[in-house]
């Protein structure tokens, strides 16, 4: 099972899949598919550990899972990580403790280390620097929930991420204020904000869109070459 937050995180992976079918699970988005000759389940249920844990529960109740991989986008905490670079977690650092993550087999280059899985968007370079001082190399919001459920169900856990924002960068948008209770970001709220401040916010929104496309592409290429 590949567990993400948003359907767009799977756009790169889907290019390597066959026989993609909609799955009617109680989550935002779910698909079954074949990749590298194996059946895979692709699930997105919104941002945050709780939403990610619910996605794993839904999949576990419906099908037999062999492993779980938390995948999607992340923010870099190390200065040498660039947009579209792949980060494979060795450990996930969460409020409840740390979870070990298995390493996939691949010939592709990637960064590795500790992933900080927090309950909010890391908005500023200052926040990122604080997380870096605690030993983390990248940051995101869902892996803690996936890791906890993998441990509960005694399943191998992997975590593969692709970088969309850099260690020295801060967001002008308040993404935390735009995050709804269903784990989705209020897109119209973000667009309205960019219209009120088009010189500063609109370029940031467009840049994030381009970066997300690149990150999804490199993530798909990496996962298609991995053996778990």
pLDDT, one tens digit per residue, over 10-48 is 999 999 999 999 999 999 999 999 999 999 999 999 999
Q: What is the pTM of this model?
A: 0.96
Q: How far apart are CA 74 and CA 93, in angstroms?
A: 14
SS3 of 160, please? Answer: strand
Domains of the chain by range and CATH?
Answer: 2-225 (3.40.50.1580)
Half-sphere exposure of 195 (CA within 13 A, CB side): 6
Q: Are 115 and 140 in contact (CB under 8 A)?
A: yes
Q: Work out the average pLDDT over 86-107.
A: 96
């Amino acid at each position: 099972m590949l567990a993400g937050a948003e359907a767009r995180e799977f756009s790169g992976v889907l290019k390597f899949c066959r026989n993609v079918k909609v799955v009617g699970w109680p989550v935002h988005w779910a698909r079954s598919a074949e990749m590298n000759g194996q059946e895979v389940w692709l699930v997105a249920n919104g941002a945050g550990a709780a939403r990610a844990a619910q996605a794993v529960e839904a999949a576990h109740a419906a099908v037999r899972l062999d492993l779980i991989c938390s995948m999607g986008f992340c923010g870099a905490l190390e200065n040498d990580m660039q947009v579209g670079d792949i980060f494979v977690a060795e450990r996930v650092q969460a409020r409840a403790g740390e979870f070990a993550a298995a390493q996939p087999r691949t010939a592709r280059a990637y960064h590795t280390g500790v992933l900080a899985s927090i309950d909010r968007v890391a908005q500023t370079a200052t926040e990122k620097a604080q997380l870096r001082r605690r030993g983390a190399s990248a940051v995101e919001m869902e892996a803690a929930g996936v890791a906890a459920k993998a441990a509960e169900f005694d399943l191998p856990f992997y975590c593969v991420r692709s970088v969309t924002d850099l260690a020295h960068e801060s967001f002008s948008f308040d993404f935390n204020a735009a995050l709804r209770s269903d784990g989705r970001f209020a897109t119209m709220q973000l667009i309205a904000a960019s219209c009120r401040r088009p010189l500063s916010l609109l370029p940031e929104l467009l840049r994030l869109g381009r970066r997300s496309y690149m990150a999804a592409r490199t993530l798909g290429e990496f996962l298609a070459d991995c053996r778990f």
